[in-house]
Amino acid sequence: MNLTKYSSSVVLPVLIALSLTHLFNDLLQSVLVASYPIIKKDLSLSFSQIGIITLAYQLSASVFQPLVGIFFDRHPFSWSPMLATILTAIGLIIFSFASSIGMIIIAVILFGIGSSIVHPEASRITSLASKNKRGLGQSLFQVGGNLGGSIGPLLIAIIVAPYSRINILWFLLFSFMSAIAIVPIQRWFSAYLQELKTTHKTMKVTSNRPFSLPITIGCIFILLILIFSKYIYISSITSYYTFYLIEKFNISISASQLCLFVFLIATAIGTMIGGPMGDRFGRKYVIWFSILGAAPFTLLMPHVNLTTTIIMSFFIGLILSSAFPAILLYAQELLPYNLGLVSGLFFGTAFGFAGIAAAVIGNLADIYGIETIYQITAYTPLFGLIAGLLPNLKKTNLS
C-alpha cells in the first residue's frame, strides 16, 4: 500500500469506516438504556437500581478510557477496535439472558470496557486520517455514534418491547457488521504504523503546544466543567426521558422510545454541524453557543404539553450535541502530542459524569419524582457562560 497518498490528505474511506464502526458500537451501547423500562419491569427494579446499573456502565467506560488512550499512545495496536467489538458482543449475550441485577451489571461493564477502547482509539485514527479537516473528520465520526445511539431505541421499540428481552440477541448482527467495517480501518492504520516504523517517525502533530502549561491546565479545567454541565442534562434525557414521558403524559413504552428517537436523531444532526462550524468560525464560539444556547429550551420544556416537549427536545439535542466535537478538538489542539490521552480523558470524563449524574438523578427521582428532575437539570446549560474564558486557538495539523 502506498501510504504517502493516505497520510498526506484526508482518507475519506477510512473516515466513513470509522463512522460506521462508531455507529454500530453506539447502537449496541444504546440497547442498554433503551431497555431500561423492559428490565425494570422484568426484574422489578427501582429508579435507584437503574441508576446503579448506569453508574457501573459509565464508570467502567470512563475509568478505562484515559488509560487506554495513554497505553495506545505508546503502544499502538491496529486490532484494538475489533477487541472492543468482541467484548461488546459478549456483554450483549449476557444482558439478553440476565436474571438478576448482578448479571446485568457484569454485562454493562463489558459494554463499558468495549466502549472505552473504541472511543479513544477510533477518535485518534480519525484525527490522523482527517488531516487539516479535523472538524469535519470528528463530526463524521461523532455523527456515526449519534446515529447509532438514535437508531437503537427505535429498534428496541420495534423488535424487543412488543415481545421479550431475548430478542435483543438480534442485535448481534450489528456486531458482525461492525467487525466488517473495522477491516479497512485496521489495514490503513497498520500500514500507517508500518510507515512510521520504517521512517522512524512518531505518531505526533507538527505544531507545538499553543499555550503555557498553566494556561493549558486552566483551559482543560474549563472544558471539563462544560462537559460536566452538558452530560448532566444529556444523562437526564438518555436514562430517564422515557420514564418522564410515560409518567407525565401516560404514553406507552414504544411511544416513549419514539420520542427518545427524536431527541437522539437531533443529536446526530447537531454533531455533524458542530465540527465544520468549528473549523470555519473557531471552536470557542461553537462551544459557547452549543451549551448556553440550549438553556432557553431546557428551562421551558418541563412546563409544556407533549407535542411541544418533543419539539423542545429536538432543539435541545440539536444545540447541545454540537459542543462535543468542538470541545474534543480544542483539547487535542491544546495537547497536540497526546491525541489518545486527550480523547480517552474527554470521552472517559463524559461517560463518568453521565454515570454519576444518572445515579444521583435516579435517587432524586425516587424521592422527589421524575418531573422534578427536569425542573432542576434545566439550569445546567447556563454553565456555558464560562466558555467565554477560553482563548482562541490556531489550527493544528497532523503529520
Asked if residue 320 is part of any domain, the answer here is: yes
pLDDT score recorded for residue 5: 45
Closest by CA position to 232, among listed 287, 295, 288: 295
Distance CA 164, CA 174 (A): 19
pLDDT score recorded for residue 351: 64
pLDDT tens for 65-89 read 777 777 877 777 778 889 889 999 9
Would you place residue 116 in the very low, low, confident or very high pLDDT band (cuts 50, 70, 90)?
confident
Q: Give me the amino acid identity at 266.
A: A
Comparison of pLDDT for 95 and 348, the residue scoring more: 95
Asked if residue 342 is part of any domain, the answer here is: yes
Closest by CA position to 104, among listed 154, 54, 64, 37: 54
Which single residue is written with the C-alpha cell 491496529? 78
pLDDT score recorded for residue 103: 93
The structural domain count of the chain equals: 1
Would you place residue 128 in the very low, low, confident or very high pLDDT band (cuts 50, 70, 90)?
confident
pLDDT score recorded for residue 3: 39
Using alpha carbons only, give the angle 324, 147, 302 rounded to the nearest 5 degrees: 70
Distance CA 206, CA 201 (A): 12
Asked if residue 283 is part of any domain, the answer here is: yes
What residue numbers bound the domain in which 278 lies? 9-389
Tell me the average pLDDT across 37-44: 86
Asked if residue 294 is part of any domain, the answer here is: yes
Asked if residue 3 is part of any domain, the answer here is: no
**String of DSSP letters for 208-260:** PPSS-HHHHHHHHHHHHHHHHHHHHHHHHHHHHHHHHHHHHH---HHHHHHHH
Would you place residue 2 in the very low, low, confident or very high pLDDT band (cuts 50, 70, 90)?
very low
Would you place residue 396 in the very low, low, confident or very high pLDDT band (cuts 50, 70, 90)?
very low
Query: Does the model's pTM come out above 0.75?
Result: no
Enter the C-alpha cell of residue 210.
499553543
pLDDT score recorded for residue 394: 58
Asked if residue 1 is part of any domain, the answer here is: no
pLDDT score recorded for residue 91: 92
Asked if residue 399 is part of any domain, the answer here is: no
What average pLDDT does the chain have? 82
pLDDT tens for 241-284 read 888 999 999 998 888 888 988 887 888 788 778 777 877 777 88
Asked if residue 318 is part of any domain, the answer here is: yes
pLDDT score recorded for residue 9: 58
pLDDT tens for 166-222 read 888 999 999 999 999 999 998 998 888 888 777 655 554 445 678 888 898 899 889
Q: What are phi and psi of 132, to 5 degrees?
A: -85, 10
Comparison of pLDDT for 115 and 352, the residue scoring more: 115
pLDDT score recorded for residue 283: 81
At 342, which CATH number?
1.20.1250.20
**Is residue 106 over pLDDT 90?**
yes
Comparison of pLDDT for 396 and 146, the residue scoring more: 146
Comparison of pLDDT for 239 and 262, the residue scoring more: 262
Cβ atoms within 10 Å of 9's Cβ, excluding its own:
13
Tell me the average pLDDT across 3-7: 43
Tell me the average pLDDT across 366-387: 87
User: Could you tell me if 363 and 51 are in contact, meaning their C-beta atoms sit under 8 angstroms apart?
Assistant: yes
Distance CA 252, CA 243 (A): 10
User: Could you tell me if 134 and 279 are in contact, meaning their C-beta atoms sit under 8 angstroms apart?
Assistant: yes
Which single residue is written with the C-alpha cell 433503551? 34
pLDDT score recorded for residue 178: 92
**Is residue 398 over pLDDT 50?**
no
**Is residue 235 over pLDDT 90?**
no
Tell me the average pLDDT across 32-53: 84
Enter the C-alpha cell of residue 134.
479535523
